[in-house]
Amino acid sequence: MTMQTEEAGSPAGVASRESTGAGRTNSSERLSGLAQQHGALVTLVIAAAAASLGFDTFLTGDNLENMALSSAFLAVVALGMTFVIVTGGIDLSVGSLFALGGVLAAWGSRYGTAVALLLPLAVCGLVGLVNGVLIARVRLAPFIVTLAAMLGARGILLAVTDEGSTTYLVDKDSWFAALGQASPGGIGVPVWITVALFVLGAVVLRRTRFGQYVYAVGGNEDAGALMGVPVARTKISVYTLSGLCAGLAGALNAAWLLSGVTILGSGMELEAISAVVIGGTLLSGGSGFVSGSLAGVLLLKVIQNVINQIGSLDSAYQQVVSGAFLAVVVVAQTWLGRRRRVL
């Protein structure tokens, strides 16, 4: 009885190896995709579990409510930033627009809730629109355009507040102030608004034609244009959306603090970028997840909360740890990207 073997160069042997190689490639790509999409969530669960074991006050209602509220404003900004980074862009103006939106909302609250909400949305959305037009139509670099917008928004902020000497207050009994306070369920209204926006953002990015355009622009802009993707319009839309999100976050923050604080938002653009990248969105564009950005925001806030609870550590360590996390994630993204190309 003889045993038949497949020769190295035989069609059957080649097919067998190709089948095995394809299986390994698909498996590796699947694992890489899962790590990119859910890495921040897994890390968040581990960090929260460790914090709850190490600190008795971590899971208290007051602490969780404070973390949720402080996360809500950054999360709304990060939502808009997610769309921008998925297209391969960047928006450095969101921190200044957040502060400007808060001041404009506080000023407009004396004329009613509608003005308090629409004014910051209109102004900040207009700044985002101008950013998008300059980037998409004039083809200027996003870094330069949004850096100029960041400085310009701060200038408008100083002009509106007499170089920071005027603070606009929100009437605590107004309808607008109610948007920043706790709901009957004990959870702040901004948190519920943030959850609703993220659900909507996830649907738009993953289930609509516009979302597919966003991915196409970030994946390969030239190929997308050849396939009929409206590249310029998509870029203008995502930068406008980023401005709107920053303005809305600032308005909600003003309702929470009952005032428009001019010094807020400094460095917020870097926090938002960090949260989005930690959440699995590639800086090179073409890949990203709204849910990952939310997990990235919560992870940063858990780290900050733990450092605050330790007490003996200086607050500067928050930035050190956040920077270290970002560096690790970018290195991991680079490695995963190279591994996919090799496979």
Q: What is the pTM of this model?
A: 0.86
CA 303 to chain centre: 17
Predicted pLDDT of residue 53: 87
**pLDDT surpassing 50 at residue 113:** yes
Predicted pLDDT of residue 340: 55
- What integer best gives the mean pLDDT of the chain? 85
Predicted pLDDT of residue 153: 94
Do residues 136 and 231 lie in contact, with contact meaning Cβ atoms separated by under 8 Å?
Answer: yes
Q: Which phi and psi (to 5°) does residue 6 adopt?
A: -90, 125
Write out pLDDT tens, residues 175-205: 999 888 877 667 889 999 999 999 999 999 9
**pLDDT surpassing 70 at residue 296:** yes
